[in-house]
Structure 1
Amino acid sequence: MDRTEKTDEALLIDRSPLPEDLDERLRRQLTFVTEVDRLKTVLRASPLAAADRRENDAEHSWHLALMVSLLAEYAVEPIDVGHTVTLVVIHDLVEIHAGDSPVFDPAAVVGQQEREEAAADRLFALLPDDQARGLRALWDEFEAGATPEARFAKAMDRLQPLLLNWVGRGGTWGMPGATESAVRRREAGVVAGSTTLGDAAGRLVDEAVRRGWIRPDGPRD
């Protein structure tokens, strides 16, 4: 599912409606929990390290949550690990309706913000009002990157695909828009959350350029 916003699709729970006497708050929560199962179907551009296929958004979000838990000690600023895990778990939920927008595909990122804002409005509205506001605030926090937790969450979101590309000896670095300068702009997002991890990412990028896995800027020979 790539950059396709579905506006007339029935909810997944409608296939087997919940009992009518179920508490309304719980009904809305379970409806949301069921609906976000769609995240498992949203394919990203990044390849898996362990199999010959692309990862999906749910796998990506799980991987980031684990990375936050393991690598929090390298954050530039002290972070609330639980809060940061929550940010990475919810940050891509909007792609259920907005689709994935590969960063190295210039056409894919056109209108991305508008698509994702509309998707957030639609998806989070399934929840009880207080939780809808809470998750929307968390999603906005991640997008803004203005808190230590959001900066570290974004750093993990940059580092994880870099590692997958490294293991895959190219991966999305082979896309037309993935010149050295474009990759290094993504690398800067790691540095913003962790100088240690940013240094490690820089070493991988340097070596990937040397090995020919990342294309230098300028016309091809």
Structure 2
Amino acid sequence: MNLEHLAKQLAFIHEIDKLKYIQRKTRLFNSQRNENDAEHSWHLAMMAMVLAEHANEKVDIQKVVKMLLIHDIVEIDSGDVFLYDTTANHTNTEAERIAAERIFGLLPDQQKEEFISVWEEFEAGETAEARFAKSMDRLEPILQNVSNEGGTWAEYDVKYETVIKKSSGIQRGSQILWNHTQVLFEESIEKGILKKS
């Protein structure tokens, strides 16, 4: 047994526990409590397993789940950027790249390279798996905000046009889920929990 190999894996496992302390702006379904990044990643992975049949293309669900469990680990160092933030861009940044190198660098080399590769694939959003994973990442806050009578849309005065712009990528992963999302938007506008400019 290679003790150095195991020690690196355990160091990584210890480090990623910090994801539980990264607070997001969105709140749990029907709740006033904010979600943390670990809860978010777990929920997305479960959503992907349940909703995989609605992907535009056949996907390797194990890879999708891996992407969703890995995608926000960099936020241990870089922090969470609110999806609807108007000053900070919610895209891959140099800070996230540095975080990926440091955190995944705790792992043995082969696992480090695999995890960074999966993270990069998610960020690029070009494969069927990445498109579907990203659609889960955009769908969850919509479902949360609908369940919370507008949630962060109301709290931060986020308008319909911004929500559409930030969430339209759902259709790249699942047209069926995008169609359903548009119904949710219309219902939210009718209820007054999502406002047009």
* TM, length-normalised to structure 2: 0.94
Match of 1:10 in 2: none
Larger radius of gyration: 1
Paired residue type of 2:171: V
Counterpart for residue 89 of structure 2? 109
Residue 183 of structure 2 aligns with an amino acid whose one-letter code is: R
Whether the 8 Å CA contact 2:92–2:123 is kept in 1: the answer is no
How far apart are the structure 1 equivalents of 2:152 and 2:90?
18
Q: CA deviation at 1:86?
A: 0.4
Q: 1:6: which partner in 2?
A: none
Match of residue 128, structure 1, among 104, 108, 116: 108
What per-residue deviation string (whole Å, max 9, x for no partner) do you get for residues 24-58 of structure 1? 00000000011000000000010111532100000
Unaligned runs of 5+ in 1: 1-20
Q: Greater CA deviation, 125-134 or 32-41?
A: 125-134
SS at match of 1:67: helix
Q: The residue matched to 1:49 in structure 2 has which SS?
A: coil
Corresponding residue for 1:162? Answer: 142
Gaps of 5+ in 2: none
Larger CA deviation: 112-121 vs 157-166: 112-121
Sequence identity percentage: 43
Please name the residue that 1:16 is paired with. Answer: none
Aligned residues: 197
Which residue of structure 2 aligns with residue 207 of structure 1? 187
Out of 77, 82, 97, the residue aligned to residue 77 of structure 2 is 97
Partner of 1:67: 47
Aligned counterpart, 1:150:
130
How far apart are residue 182 of structure 1 and its match?
1.0
Provide Cα deviations, 1:110-158, integer angstroms capped at 9, x if missing partner.
8861221121111111111111111000000000001000000000001
2: CA distance, partners of 1:191 / 1:31: 38
Instruction: Name the SS for the 2:169 alignment partner.
Output: helix
Verify: 1:23 aligned to 2:6, yes or no: no
Cα distance in 1 between the residues matched to 2:184 and 2:91: 31
Q: Return structure 1 stretches of 4+ with deviation > 3 angstroms.
A: none
Does the Cα contact within 8 Å between 1:39 and 1:95 map onto a contact in 2? yes
2:58 equivalent to 1:78: yes
3-state SS of the aligned residue for 1:26?
helix
Give the AA of the match of 1:57.
Answer: D
**Higher fraction of helix:** 2
Query: RMSD across aligned C-alpha pairs, in angstroms?
Result: 1.7
Equivalents in 2 of 1:62, 1:50: separation in Å?
18
